[in-house]
């Protein structure tokens, strides 16, 4: 039986290819990544894919996906982890200009920013992601949410639940639970920062912590827009500060309901 992984950049693709195949060859790469040099699983990048494979008794398709409400948290994986290019969220405005040409999706982001704003700053980046999270028509939305009933669909949050992963993946021929558990222990040890993003964000909202990075601030803008039922000029610090000062409790409640 053949196996295809429809992968999303940064979302543990190499790890998953190794975790489902005990005969794979995998090595640690950088501080957080994995490199799988040999696996029964064939990797296909999902964004930009036109013809999706048809699953059958002879072809198993593992499909990585991200539900809409987890889309902001996937941004960290995408930009910070992909190919160890390390476009870091805390230095995004500078990194996307300096490193954006090293990967096609990053280049798209860079061009979008340069074409939309006279200057790429933290303020304009926050507005860019606010728009991205508030709309659902970007090709990354389409690619990340694409699924099929006869695929093994692995959603972003599933990586926080090894029992869910095991339940979905154990149908794969040759799946070894001991090998998987060993691999999962290593995944958590190297990626707790990314696995805990949503939980940590909700905790800081609950504590009325007003210190948030550009992705969190952009997502807060989306939530505020839903609460107020209006579009916001999220590039303006005065607008953001007012929302964080007066609407933090309502934003927390909405975030918890959506997450």
Q: Please state the φ and ψ torsions of residue 27, each to the nearest 5 degrees.
A: -140, 155
In a domain, 26, yes or no: yes
In a domain, 62, yes or no: yes
pTM: 0.95
Token duo for residue 251? 């934003």
- Domain with 150, as residue range(s), is 2-66+145-191
Q: Token match 């694409």: residue?
A: 146
Token duo for residue 249? 């409790």
Q: Of all residues in the chain, what percent carry a pLDDT higher than 90?
A: 92
Please report the pLDDT score of residue 136 as a whole number: 85
In a domain, 43, yes or no: yes
In a domain, 149, yes or no: yes
In a domain, 155, yes or no: yes
In a domain, 183, yes or no: yes
Q: Domain count of the chain?
A: 1
d(CA 13, CA 36): 9
pLDDT for 178-190, tens place per residue?
A: 999 999 999 999 9
Note whether 24 and 16 are within 8 A (CB).
no
Please report the pLDDT score of residue 211 as a whole number: 86
- Average pLDDT, integer, range 227-239: 96
In a domain, 246, yes or no: no
pLDDT for 26-83, tens place per residue?
A: 999 989 999 999 999 999 999 999 999 999 999 999 999 999 999 999 999 999 999 9
In a domain, 44, yes or no: yes
């Amino acid at each position: 039986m053949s196996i295809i992984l429809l992968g999303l950049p940064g979302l543990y693709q190499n790890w998953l290819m190794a975790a489902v195949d005990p005969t794979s060859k995998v090595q640690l790469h950088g501080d957080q990544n994995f490199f799988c040099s040999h696996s029964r699983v064939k990797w296909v990048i999902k964004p930009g894919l036109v013809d999706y494979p048809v699953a059958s008794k002879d072809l198993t398709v593992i499909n990585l996906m991200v539900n809409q409400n987890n889309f902001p948290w996937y941004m960290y994986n995408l930009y910070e982890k992909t190919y160890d290019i390390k476009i870091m969220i805390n230095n995004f405005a500078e990194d996307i200009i300096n490193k954006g040409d090293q990967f096609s999706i990053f280049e798209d982001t860079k061009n979008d920013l340069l074409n939309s704003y006279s200057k790429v700053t933290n303020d304009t980046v926050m507005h860019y992601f606010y728009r991205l999270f508030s709309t659902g028509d970007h090709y990354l939305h389409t690619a990340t949410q694409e699924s099929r009933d006869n695929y093994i669909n692995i959603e972003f949050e599933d990586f926080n639940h090894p029992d869910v992963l095991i339940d979905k993946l154990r149908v794969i021929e040759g799946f070894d639970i001991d090998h998987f558990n060993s691999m999962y222990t290593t995944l958590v040890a190297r990626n707790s920062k990314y696995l805990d993003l949503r939980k940590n964000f909700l905790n800081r909202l609950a504590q009325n912590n007003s210190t948030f990075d550009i992705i969190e601030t952009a997502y807060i803008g989306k939530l505020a827009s839903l609460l107020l039922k209006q579009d916001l000029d999220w590039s303006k610090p005065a607008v953001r500060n007012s929302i964080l000062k007066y609407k933090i409790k309502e934003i927390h409640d909405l975030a918890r309901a959506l997450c």
